[in-house]
Amino acid sequence: MIYHCIRFTLKPGVSEEDKVAGLAQMREHSNAIPSIKARVVGPDFGGEFEYGAVSLIEDLQGYEEYMNHPAHLAMDRAGLPLVDRFVSFDITDDPDPEIGAKIAEVHRRRYENMPDIAGLVSDLGEYSGSAAPGKHAH
């Protein structure tokens, strides 16, 4: 299993209406993506971020499907322009010692094949995640 986790803080000035609509879209897009087995979206407590989400995905094939699904891409295109700080990480019980590199490769190909998504992530004030593009690359 792969638990894909995100934490984020919105840009100052994002309206309550845009915030509510964005969070609702995040909750709904999980219904459109078959590889998501379970998902939670909501306020992030105990840290320095406002919101977070955890998606449960069965395996690497499902993870890649999720990352490239039209509903996820639509969410990125609508939501990332509202975000200031964003952290993405994965927790897995997959015994493959190369799973971290394989997850990073899914992200690398995604950013390479979808330059608009890579640009949105690069434009974030702060980003940490697998295969971070642009100014956030390590």
In this predicted model, what pLDDT tens digit does every residue of 92-107 receive, in sequence order? 999 999 999 999 999 9
2-129 has CATH 3.40.50.2300 classification: no
CA distance linking residue 40 with residue 110, whole number of Å: 23
Residues 100-122, mean pLDDT to the nearest whole number = 96
Side-chain half-sphere exposure of 129, counting CA atoms within 13 A: 26
Backbone angles phi, psi at 90, to 5 degrees: -130, 140
Which ranges in 34-83 belong to alpha helices (H)?
A: 60-68, 70-79
45 to 36, 48, 49, 54: CA distances (angstroms): 23, 8, 8, 14
- Examine the pLDDT at 108 and tell me if it is beyond 90: yes
- Residue 138 is predicted with a pLDDT of 64
Lowest mean per-residue pLDDT among 19-23, 30-34, 80-84, 134-138: 134-138
pLDDT at 29: 83
- pLDDT-derived band at 2, boundaries 50, 70, 90: very high
Residues 52/129/111/103 CA torsion (nearest 10 deg): -100
**What integer best gives the mean pLDDT of the chain?**
94
Amino acid identity for residue 73 in this structure: L
- 35 — phi, psi (to 5°)? -75, -15
As a whole-number percent, the residues of the chain with pLDDT over 70 amount to 99
pTM (predicted TM-score): 0.93
